[in-house]
């Protein structure tokens, strides 16, 4: 299974396609492991053209596990708490 399989339901992405996601050729486990592997996942996310949409999806679904849009669960929680 690839990350694209997760998003094959057609979640809309403005200006880019999920097919352009940097993670498509990576092992999905990289994005759901901790420690040093999380750093590798976050590095992959840095230049991803759908990073913002991925982060939005993670926030909207209150994802508890994994790296979404380059952020860990703790970082996403902090982002939600911070004033806009």
Residue list, annotated binding site for [4Fe-4S] cluster? 23, 45, 48, 54
Residue list, annotated binding site? 23, 45, 48, 54
pLDDT of residue 45: 96
Look up residue 24 and give its DSSP letter: T
Domain extents in the chain = 22-81
Q: Using an 8 Å Cβ cutoff, are 46 and 59 in contact?
A: no
Q: pLDDT tens string for the chain (84 positions)?
A: 445 555 555 555 556 788 899 999 999 999 998 777 889 999 999 999 999 999 999 999 999 999 999 999 999 999 988 876
Three-class SS state of 41? helix
pLDDT of residue 1: 46
**pTM > 0.85:** no
């Amino acid at each position: 299974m690839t990350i694209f399989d997760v998003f094959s339901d057609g979640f809309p992405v403005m200006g880019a396609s999920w097919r352009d996601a940097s993670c498509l050729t990576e092992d999905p486990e990289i994005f759901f492991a901790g420690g040093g592997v999380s750093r590798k996942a976050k590095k992959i996310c840095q230049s991803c053209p759908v990073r913002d949409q991925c982060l939005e999806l993670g926030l909207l679904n209150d994802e508890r596990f994994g790296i979404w849009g380059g952020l860990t669960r703790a970082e996403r929680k902090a982002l939600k708490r911070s004033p806009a």
